[in-house]
Amino acid sequence: MRDYPFGLKPLSQAFFLLFLTVFATHAGAKSLRCDQKLVAVGDSTHRVLSHCGEPNDLRKRTETRVVRNAVQSACGVEQMQTCTRIVERYVNVEIQEWIYDLGPRRLLRNLTFENGSLVKVESDGFGSN
């Protein structure tokens, strides 16, 4: 019987490495390291600003979104049944997009906030500073 590294056959090793690559990329995309401090999805604009400083670029806009909620209520001829209906309402969401240019040897970081909470961290091309 042949010995394989980590006890995995070559095809299993390839899938394992692919999984690690995807997992590491996905995990890293939800946070940003500023000096020795880490900011992550869910953090407030205030926390990010205090850890990372002013962004190189900031854009603001407001989006109107439809929110749908399932509501149960009595219905039927004698109001003896429970029915579910969908109730729609419109809400305004304040969107802020911050861009950090971390230098020519590092990727730009695009941070998206909704109503003051960090919802997305993305990388872009290399910076210029």
Q: Cα–Cα distance between 113 and 29 in angstroms, integer?
A: 15
Nearest to 93, CA basis, from 123, 60, 124:
60
Q: Cα–Cα distance between 113 and 98 in angstroms, integer?
A: 8
The confidence score (pLDDT) of residue 42 equals: 95
Residue 110 identity (one-letter amino acid): N
The confidence score (pLDDT) of residue 5 equals: 60
The percent of the chain in helix, strand and coil, each rounded to the nearest 5, is 25, 50, 25
The model's pTM: 0.66
The confidence score (pLDDT) of residue 49 equals: 95
Each of the 129 residues of the chain gets a pLDDT tens digit; together they read 566 565 656 655 555 554 544 444 444 458 888 888 999 999 999 999 999 999 999 999 999 999 999 999 888 777 788 899 999 999 999 999 999 988 888 888 999 999 999 999 998 888 776
